[in-house]
Structure 1
Amino acid sequence: MFALNQWYVAGFEWEFQERPIARTFLNQPVVLFRTGEGTIAALEDRCCHRSLPLSSGTLEERGLRCGYHGLLYAPSGLCLEIPGQEKIPARACVRPYTVSVRNQIVWIWMPSEPGGQPDCDAPEYAVHDDPRYRYRGDVYHYDAPYQLIHDNLLDLSHLGYVHLRTIGGNAKIHMHAETKVEEQGNVVRVLRYMPSSEPPPTYTAAWRFDGLIDRWQEIEFDLSHLRIWTGANDAGAGSMRDAGRGGFHMRGFHGVTPETDVSTHYFWTVAANRHPDMPDMMDTVYEQSALTFEEDKVVIEAQYRNMLQFQHAPQIDIHVDVGPNRARRIIERLIRETAG
Structure 2
Amino acid sequence: MATPVEITRAPAIFPLDRWYVAGFSWELKDKPVARTILSRPMVLFRAQDGKVAALQDRCCHRDLPLSCGNVEGAGLRCGYHGLLFDTTGKCVEIPGQERIPAKACVTAYPLRERDQILWVWVGATPDSQPKDEPPAYRFHSDAAYRFGGDVYHYDAPWQLIHDNLLDLSHLGYVHLKTIGGNPTLHMNAAVKVESTEETVRVIRLMPESDPPPTYASAWPFAGKIDRWQEVEFHPSHCAIWTGAMDHGTGSYDDPERHGFHMRGFHGVTPETETTTHYFWTIATNPHPDRTDVTTLVVDQTAATFEEDKVIIEAQYRNQMRQGPGPNIDIHVDAGPNRARRLITKLRQAAAAV
2:141 corresponds to 1:132: no
2:301 corresponds to 1:284: no
Structural mapping, 1:1-340, within 5 Å? 1-340=13-352
Unaligned runs of 5+ in 1: none
Deviation by residue 1:169-191 (Cα, 9 ceiling, x = unmatched): 00000000000000122111000
Question: How far has the Cα of 1:120 moved from its partner?
Answer: 1.5
Tell me how far apart the structure 1 counterparts of residues 299 and 200 of structure 2 sit (CA, whole Å). 29
Secondary structure of 1:260's match? coil
Unaligned runs of 5+ in 2: 1-12
Q: Do the aligned partners of 1:178 and 1:194 also contact (CA within 8 Å) in 2? A: yes
Question: How far has the Cα of 1:116 moved from its partner?
Answer: 1.7
RMSD: 0.8
Deviation by residue 1:292-339 (Cα, 9 ceiling, x = unmatched): 001000000000000111113311111000000000111111111122
Tell me how far apart the structure 1 counterparts of residues 48 and 331 of structure 2 sit (CA, whole Å). 53
Equivalent residues, number: 340
Secondary structure of 1:127's match? helix
Deviation by residue 1:18-77 (Cα, 9 ceiling, x = unmatched): 000000000000000001210110000000001000000011003100001111111111
The two structures have a TM-score, normalised by structure 2, of: 0.95
Question: How far has the Cα of 1:244 moved from its partner?
Answer: 1.6
Structure 1 runs (4+) deviating above 3 angstroms are none
Tell me how far apart the structure 1 counterparts of residues 194 and 324 of structure 2 sit (CA, whole Å). 32
Secondary structure of 1:292's match? helix
The one-letter code of the counterpart of 2:89 is G
Question: How far has the Cα of 1:241 moved from its partner?
Answer: 2.7
Tell me how far apart the structure 2 counterparts of residues 321 and 263 of structure 1 sit (CA, whole Å). 23
Deviation by residue 1:104-127 (Cα, 9 ceiling, x = unmatched): 100000001123210221111111
- Could you tell me which residue of structure 1 aligns to residue 10 of structure 2? none
Tell me how far apart the structure 1 counterparts of residues 92 and 74 of structure 2 sit (CA, whole Å). 9
- Could you tell me which residue of structure 1 aligns to residue 7 of structure 2? none
Secondary structure of 2:81's match? coil
The one-letter code of the counterpart of 1:32 is L
Tell me how far apart the structure 2 counterparts of residues 32 and 10 of structure 1 sit (CA, whole Å). 8
The two structures have a TM-score, normalised by structure 1, of: 0.99
Q: Do the aligned partners of 1:97 and 1:115 also contact (CA within 8 Å) in 2? A: no
Q: Do the aligned partners of 1:145 and 1:264 also contact (CA within 8 Å) in 2? A: yes
Question: How far has the Cα of 1:92 moved from its partner?
Answer: 0.6
Question: How far has the Cα of 1:239 moved from its partner?
Answer: 1.4
The one-letter code of the counterpart of 2:200 is V
